[in-house]
Each structure stands twice: as structure tokens, then as C-alpha cells.
Structure 1
Amino acid sequence: MDAGNLNDGELAAHLAQVAGRILCEVRGAGVFSAEALGKAGDQTANQFLVRALREQRPDDGLLSEEQQDNFERLAHARVWIIDPVDGTREFGEHRSDWAVHVGLAIDGVASVGAVALPGLGVVLRSDAPQPLPALADRPRMLVSRTRPAREAVAVAEAIGAELVAMGSAGAKAMAVVRGGAEIYLHTGGQFEWDSCAPVAVAKAHGLHVSRVDGSPLVYNQSDLYMPDLLICRPEWATRVLAEVAALSA
């Protein structure tokens, strides 16, 4: 493949897939302790993604979880936002609910993205959306497997949703895309790299994406902290936003 001829969507998907393949090789090598595996994966995938993006898109800004932010990106309208291993703990535990995020924000909007789920052999792309699966009779809400947010638990109780525990943010967002759940409500705080690529993919597939007050998600900010987000089937967006608002009323 000649990566120099790829458009943004194709490049994002190609890099996410290759990084995922590299990570599976790192994990399968059997040379790292459980404690060292996560760090080795982060560093190896980050080196590949950063060098590849610098080669292929030298005029764009770049933000990675695993690289010191120098704020040079703020001068760019186009900024690649990557998370080499979203769900480092799950990766190190040899689980499948981890992801690779390659996203592109244009003028602050998550516009292009690819999320690889290497443990499942899947790459979901903003430039190749698939029809959403049939809506379940009873909604399923994704929550952290280690620290479910109080607000998510309360909303789930209010709407009669089943709680589904899962690892990384990307895995949870893509579970909504793939039909494994209807709602991903997060109020525990994240950073831009946790959601840029998943939001671009989810939006392209026709899902609702926003902050929990209904306002837009804005990227390439000086402050990278993003307090909350909602990714859900559009049929549930109004109800979930209303229930969140009621909690703070």
C-alpha cells in the first residue's frame, strides 16, 4: 500500500489497523511482565503513529496521550489526536476491550476517525459507516468496569437500562456503533484523545454525540480535560439528556 495516496479517512484507518497489529505482536512476544506490558505497548504504538503522521501529514498539528504537549498544535486548524492504546490496563490484562484511536479534529470538530479493536479484529471508520443494528427493547448502558459513574447508574435506574461494564472508552463507544449497547454516558472526566476518534466514528454512523448538557464536544483546546460526554442511539438522546439535567436540578 502506498500511504502517500491515502485520504484522511483511509490514512486514519490504515494507521489504526497497523498500530493494532503491532500491539498484538508486542503482547504476544511474551517478553514483558504484566506490569511492563502496558507501558511497552503505549511507547511502541506511539512511536509508530507519531512518526507516520509526521511523515504523511507534516503540515498538520498533532496531539498524543503519550507525548508531551507543546501547544504548537493550537496554531493549526487540522490536528491529529491519537491514543496509541486506549485501555492500557485491559491491554496488559490480555483482554479484548481496548482500542487504538486515530482522530482528526478540524476547526475543533472531531471530523475524521478510526478506532481499531485489535482484540476483536475490527476497525471502525468515519469514512465507511455501516447501518446501525436494530434497537433493543430494553436499553443497555455502558459503564466503566472499575468505577461506574454515579450519574450513569442513576440515569440507568430512571430509564430501566441494563448496565454493561466494559474497559476502554473506545471499546464502549464502538459497542454502541456495533449494536452491543444503546447508551454510553460518561461523567467521570476524560481527555481529548479518549474521545476524538470515537466521536468522529459514532457521529458518522448516525449516533448522537454531545456533552451531557447537550452542548458540542470541542477539540484542540489549550485545556485538554473533557468532563463528560454522551454517545447514544438518537432515539434515547432526549430522554437521557433530560434525566441528567434532572439530577442537577
Structure 2
Amino acid sequence: MSNYQDDLQLLEDVAREAGDLSLRYWKQSPEAWNKPADAGPVSEADLAVNDFLEARLRGARPDYGWLSEESVDSTERLENERVFIIDPIDGTRAFLNEDPGFGQAIAVVENGRVVAGVVHMPALALTYTATADGPALLNGTPIRPSNATRIRGATVLTSKFSDDPGIWLNGFPGYKRSLRPSMAWRLCLVAEGRFDATISMRKSWEWDVAAASLIAERAGVTVTNRLGEPFGFNRPECQEDGLVVAPPELHADFMAQLRN
């Protein structure tokens, strides 16, 4: 038997504690600064949550590797069969702007495949969970995506950059664009059918999508990079070439219309 459920329970328990910790900093004007190379903001809250997660998770599973947005990366993780991949606060800009659209994204990856994942949105009281052999759940209730099949008129979580007609074979295809600050949450919103799809034409980091990609897949969503290739995790470069996340027929329509 797999111990995916044991790992999921650990992730869920620790995510809730980490969420409580992040809320202690939220709306309290935490110290923040920009990372080098225009890599976005980071705050003392991100680092505190990261330290907490590493202590709790690696304390419970010392043989697992570690990949986090807020930790110095090491190639040692490539030697581990199982690896934690986490984003301590996904949506740091929202967090610093006192927007509730931030959360913890925590995954266990086994031999390149996500086997347990949690996305916890503490300010919204939302917890999405899944294992590789179980259903996708929101606060313990199964979720499923929309039944959208065509891009035109679909509700899509993406940035304005995706509207560029040059990205598409036949010009902008007429979807309805919205955006949410947390990448992981975007995938989960598709998984629960509140939006039809989420796409990105930019590079995506593993810690932003690992946990949520499993939740989306177990809900019945197709998850690939912008070229239609499945994601792989715990790789040396830690990045994918964009993403397209949608129910199967809608995903196929994206693949047919994107200029790749």
C-alpha cells in the first residue's frame, strides 16, 4: 500500500499551522524587499513560514528532499526518491497588499510525479487536497471542473499578455479574462469549476504549480505546459514552459489554436 494518505495528512496539518503563522503577519506591515534579478517581492513572513515548514516537514520525513521558493536550492534533492516542493506564501504581492488571495502550496513528489498536494488559503478558509490515488477535495468535499469545451466565451484566468494576437494562430480567440494573484489558486479554481481554464505563456516555477497540478488532475482537468507536454517535477531547472490547464475538450481547443 502507498502512504500517500499519510503524507497528505501531514501536509494538511502543517499547511493549516503555516497558514495561521502567515495570518499573524498579514495586515501588520511586515518587512519586505525585492529579490535579485527582478524575481519579485519577498517578506519576513515568507521566510518565517518557510523556516516553519522546513522544520516540521523535514523533521517528520528526514529522508525526503527539499525544494522551496524561499530556500537556497541544492542538487542533493535530485538524489531523493521523494521530495517536498513548496511555496510558503504563493501570492506574496497579494499578501503585502492585504488581499486575501494568498496561500500555502505544498506537495510531495515521488520520482518526478506529484503524489500528495495541498493548497491552503488561510484568509479565505479554503483547503484543497488530493493524492495520486484519491479524489480532489475542497474542505473535504469532492470537486469537479466545468463542462466548457470551446475557448470562445470561456472564463480564463490569465494575464493580459495572453491576449496578444501573435500568440494565437487565428488571432485572439475571444475568452473572458480574469486574474487571481496566486498561481496555485488559479489551478484550484479551475479544478472546482469556478473558472473554465487558466493559461500562462511565461515560464512557471515548480513550487507554484506542483501541489495544484495534482488537485486539478484528480478533479478531471488536463494539465500541461504551453506545448501540450505533461509536467515533470524535481528537475534541475525547476521550470516549465508555461501552462494550459482546462477540461479535456477545452484543453484540446487551446492546443489547436495556440501558436507553439
TM-based fold match above 0.5: yes
Structure 1 range deviating more: 225-234 or 77-86: 225-234
The residue type equivalent to 1:143 in the other structure is T
The residue type equivalent to 2:22 in the other structure is L
| Residue aligning to 1:98 | 102
The residue type equivalent to 2:99 in the other structure is R
Counting aligned pairs with the same residue, the percent is 26
1:203-236 deviation line (CA, Å, top 9, x unaligned) = 1211111112221101111111222112112231
Given the alignment, which residue of 148, 154, 158 partners 2:161? 148
The residue type equivalent to 2:6 in the other structure is N
Which stretches in structure 1 are left out of the alignment for 5+ residues? Answer: 1-5
1:100-133 deviation line (CA, Å, top 9, x unaligned) = 1101111111221000112211010014521315
| Residue aligning to 1:23 | 22
| Residue aligning to 2:154 | 139
**TM-superposed deviation, 1:184:** 0.7
Distance of aligned partners of 1:220 and 1:166 in 2 relative to their CA distance in 1, 3 Å threshold: same
Q: Take 2:205 and 2:195, find their aligned partners in 1: how far apart are those partners? A: 23
Question: Secondary structure of 2:54's match?
Answer: helix
Distance of aligned partners of 1:95 and 1:201 in 2 relative to their CA distance in 1, 3 Å threshold: same
Q: TM-score, normalised by structure 2?
A: 0.83
Question: Secondary structure of 1:199's match?
Answer: helix
1:149-198 deviation line (CA, Å, top 9, x unaligned) = 35699559754321012212012111112222111111111211111111
Q: Take 1:242 and 1:31, find their aligned partners in 2: how far apart are those partners? A: 46
Q: TM-score, normalised by structure 1?
A: 0.86
2:115 aligned with 1:116, yes or no?
no
Q: CA RMSD in A?
A: 2.5
1:37-67 deviation line (CA, Å, top 9, x unaligned) = 9511101110110001111110111111111
Q: Take 2:8 and 2:250, find their aligned partners in 1: how far apart are those partners? A: 28
Q: Take 2:68 and 2:164, find their aligned partners in 1: how far apart are those partners? A: 29
The residue type equivalent to 1:139 in the other structure is A
Determine if contact 1:177/1:205 at 8 Å carries over to the other structure. yes
Question: Secondary structure of 1:113's match?
Answer: strand
Structure 1 range deviating more: 63-72 or 32-41: 32-41
Aligned ranges for residues 183-202 of structure 1 at < 5 Å? 183-202=197-216
**TM-superposed deviation, 1:140:** 0.5
Determine if contact 1:139/1:161 at 8 Å carries over to the other structure. yes
Distance of aligned partners of 1:136 and 1:233 in 2 relative to their CA distance in 1, 3 Å threshold: closer
**TM-superposed deviation, 1:71:** 1.0
Determine if contact 1:34/1:93 at 8 Å carries over to the other structure. no
Structure 1 range deviating more: 169-178 or 131-140: 131-140
The residue type equivalent to 2:93 in the other structure is R
The residue type equivalent to 1:12 in the other structure is L
